[in-house]
Structure 1
Amino acid sequence: MRISIDPHRCIGAGQCALTAPDVFVQDDDGYGALLPGHDPDAPMVKEAARACPVRAIAVTES
């Protein structure tokens, strides 16, 4: 899978980092970011995308 975060939509709610902390983190400005070396097939990735209140996370098949 491929994960992307739209930086123009992200509001820094942090639901991604709470739902899938092995994949997402909040950057220094408080916005969602992908952890280096993250596993795009981690079990909670799709749930984290659904939890985003502004739908800033896209998960697509690669």
Structure 2
Amino acid sequence: MDIQWRKSSYSEQSGNCLELATAGDLVLVRESDEPDVVVRTTRAKLAAFLAGAKAGEFDDLL
């Protein structure tokens, strides 16, 4: 399977960032500096997380 990893344009130039890709019905997430560690989730779970992030639910972590 050919996985096309993507990262945000807001990521650091040094490459330290989160990368995302799709594989069938799954969304894959990894850190660019630890590419062998991959978290798998569903589109629905990622959508719920992103909605919470956009609403500021995780701002206290920054």
Same fold (TM over 0.5): no
Shorter chain as denominator, the TM-score bin is under 0.3
Q: Could you say which structure has the higher helix fraction?
A: 2
**TM-score (ref. length: structure 2):** 0.24
Larger Cα-atom Rg: 2
| Greater relative CO (CA pairs within 8 A, separation 6+) | 1
- Give the TM-score of the pair, scaled to structure 1: 0.24
**Larger strand proportion of the pair:** 2
